[in-house]
Amino acid sequence: QITLKESGPTLVNPTQTLTLTCTFSGFSLSTTGVAVGWIRQPPGKALEWLALIYWDDDKRYSPSLKNRLTITKDTSKNQVVLTMTNMDPVDTATYYCAHRGMVRGDFEHWGQGTLVTVSS
């Protein structure tokens, strides 16, 4: 059974850096073809893809946010970490991590999401 869970601060001050951790089980991020992504959703708005990291450490970022994002993995801890710099109130959203398997092209499994509010 594959599970993912996001963790991190619920409140961030403007201009601060956000660090979120996705802790997963039921799969290995060293398995060929596997990837973990981050997606966010502002309240009442649409899903927005942020970043993706592959089993071979290839990394992809949203073109509109790439200057602010860093994604890393720790295979031994079964964790993926996303950092986002220079947080702004418009970055208030629920942040999800999701697993993309080696066979299908969709995000097959999602975490429950974590709401991050940016406010002073």
Q: Is the Cβ of residue 14 or residue 47 nearer to other proteins in the bound state?
A: 47
Tell me: does residue 37 bind other proteins (CB under 8 A). Answer: yes
Tell me: does residue 63 bind other proteins (CB under 8 A). Answer: yes
Q: How far apart are CA 40 and CA 6, in angstroms?
A: 12
Tell me: does residue 62 bind other proteins (CB under 8 A). Answer: yes
Q: How far apart are CA 36 and CA 22, in angstroms?
A: 9
Q: 100 is written with which tokens?
A: 């993309």
Tell me: does residue 29 bind other proteins (CB under 8 A). Answer: no
Tell me: does residue 39 bind other proteins (CB under 8 A). Answer: yes
First to last CA, the chain: 39
Q: Is the Cβ of residue 16 or residue 110 nearer to other proteins in the bound state?
A: 110
The dihedral region occupied by 15, where left means phi > 0, alpha psi between -120 and 50, and beta the remainder, is: left
Q: List contacts with other proteins (CB under 8 A).
A: 37, 39, 46-49, 52, 58, 60, 62-63, 96, 104-108, 110-113
